[in-house]
Amino acid sequence: MWRPNWWRRLRRQIPEEVLFALNRLAEAGYEAYLVGGAPRDLLLDRTPEDWDLATDARPEKVKTLFANAWPLGEKFGTVRVPFDRLEVDITTFREEGAYSDGRRPDWVNFTPSLEADLARRDFTMNAIALDPLREKLVDPFAGVQALKRRLVKTVGEPAVRFGEDALRMLRFYRFQATLGFRGDRETEKGITPGLITKVSGERIRDELTKLLVASFPKAGLEGMARSGLLPAVLPEFGAVLAEPGLFRHTVATVQAIKPATGLRWAAFLHDLGKPRTRVVQGDRLHYYGHEKVGAELAAAILERLRFPRKVAEQILALVRWHMFPADPWMTDAALRRLVARVGKENIKGLLELRRADLVGTPGVAARAFSGLTQFAARLEALLAGETVLSLRDLAVNGHEVMEFLGIQPGPRVGEVLQEIFHWVTEDPARNRKELILEYLATRGNNPD
């Protein structure tokens, strides 16, 4: 780490706006350090997501040093300085009082002590301060050593720190997933799963999403299962963990799918319905209808975690239809009906999920993958040349059906539209108003 050109090389990794901000504070006579995720990521040769500075200058002072600074959370000492490409958050050194609610400190104070500021941070690797101009690295909790050993470890007593803020328990596993680090054993012993009820659904959602879309979700998920945090966060996973092989398969499916929010969540939840639907037939297990039960369980989870409606709908469609028959010899009509049921927008994701599901299943024959590839090719061709994919794409609407048949609004209208849809999907060339009306006239009287 300490090769001769180390500091010069380090400065080259830092955007000039950030160096400018550091220099401005230094020239005004203050201490100024990079803190939080940035020093950690720089020392790991990763690109930092955001640039946080800590200083002994008070927020009022910081505002006068940067023309377009605005208070982000002035009470907590943070001033944001926007530049064209990025923004720099500058926070006055602070220390915190007790956390009597398990979420937030009772008070925060400004302090002249950098060490006090670092001591309130969650993990040793996140408690390193770096001054790249004066070439100083401040590391009172051996964060650099933890980085070298690839360990996530709390600053101070684990149970105390998790007790102050239960969200840190999720962050403990999230960082293992994003960095591929191990969790320190003593730290994991401090996990108290029951405390997680203090954390809001939104914050659980955001941390779990970061964990799921990370490069090493397996590390985070297995740790959460081992410590009991996973079933505390999502009780539905208690049964998944009890079902032999199911959690392992779930994790393998998550790892095998592209790291996008909807896809990773769908993989995570796709077999939630299996424990409740298991039946033994001869020497085989079956899980008939587990995708439907799973979609119901998943809906409850997504609701609790306050997922936005659009993402939730995508995840639920994937869970609900992940058992679709991927038969390369399926008729065009059946293929079209599948697309109509699942939704055009979900087809790609559904194929991804099926592929990951196969990858995550031990002993799947190569034939299954080539069958899926053929099936995907047919779907793609169909989607490229096809227009009749949903009821709304039909050349007639409900009003026209009612008028033509002389019927009143009611469920019958929907049934007739379904029937027309079925007929049109047999041959998309039929999707013309006069052909459909002719079909309605000649299909034989089929009164309610």
Q: Which residues of the chain form contacts with ligand ATP (CB under 6 A)?
A: 36-37, 49-50, 52, 121-122, 126, 165, 167-168
Least Å distance, CB 206 to ligand ATP, is 10
- The one of Mg ion, ligand ATP, none whose footprint includes residue 398, by CB under 5 to 8 A per kind, is none
Options 47-55, 106-114, 167-175, 313-321: segment touching Mg ion (CB under 5 A): 47-55
Q: Out of ligand ATP, Mg ion, none, which partner does residue 168 contact, by CB within 5 to 8 A per kind?
A: ligand ATP
Among candidate residues 222, 249, 224, 246, the one with its CA nearest the CA of residue 356? 249
Min separation Cβ 52 and ligand ATP, Å: 6
Backbone angles phi, psi at 81, to 5 degrees: -115, 110
Out of ligand ATP, Mg ion, none, what residue 71 binds, judged by CB under 5 to 8 A for its kind, is none
Which part of the chain contacts Mg ion (CB under 5 A), choosing from 31-39, 211-219, 290-298, 315-323?
31-39
Of 16, 50, 60, 186, which lies in the binding site for Mg ion, with binding defined by CB under 5 A?
50
Of the listed pieces 19-27, 50-58, 127-135, 330-338, which binds Mg ion according to CB under 5 A? Answer: 50-58
Given the complex with ligand ATP, which of 21 and 167 has the nearer CB atom? 167
Report the partner that residue 167 touches, choosing among Mg ion, ligand ATP, none (CB closer than 5 to 8 A by kind): ligand ATP
**Residue 397: strand, helix, or coil:** coil
User: Is beta strand 70-73 parallel, antiparallel or unpaired with respect to 94-96?
Assistant: unpaired
CA distance 245 to 441: 56
How many other C-beta atoms can be found within 10 angstroms of the C-beta atom of residue 178? 18
Closer CB to ligand ATP, residue 22 or residue 169?
169
86 binds Mg ion (CB under 5 A): no
Q: Which CA distances in Å does 358 have to 210, 296, 354, 430?
A: 24, 23, 6, 37
276-279: list long-range contacts, CB under 8 Å, 24+ apart: 276/239, 278/243
Stretch in the footprint of Mg ion (CB under 5 A) among 33-41, 56-64, 207-215, 384-392 = 33-41
Residue 149: CB partners within 8 Å, gap ≥ 6? none
Q: Which is nearer to Mg ion, 53 or 317 (CB)?
A: 53
**What is the phi/psi pair of residue 136, to 5°?**
-125, 135
| 313, 264 Cβ separation under 8 angstroms | no
Helix, strand, or coil (residue 66): coil
Shortest approach of ligand ATP to residue 36 CB, angstroms?
Answer: 3
State the chain's maximal CA–CA distance in angstroms. Answer: 91
Cα separation, 34 vs 23, whole angstroms: 12
Q: Binders of Mg ion: how many residues, by CB under 5 A?
A: 2
Using rule CB under 5 A, residue 371 touches Mg ion? no
Residues of the shown chain interacting with Mg ion in the complex, contacts defined by CB under 5 A = 37, 50
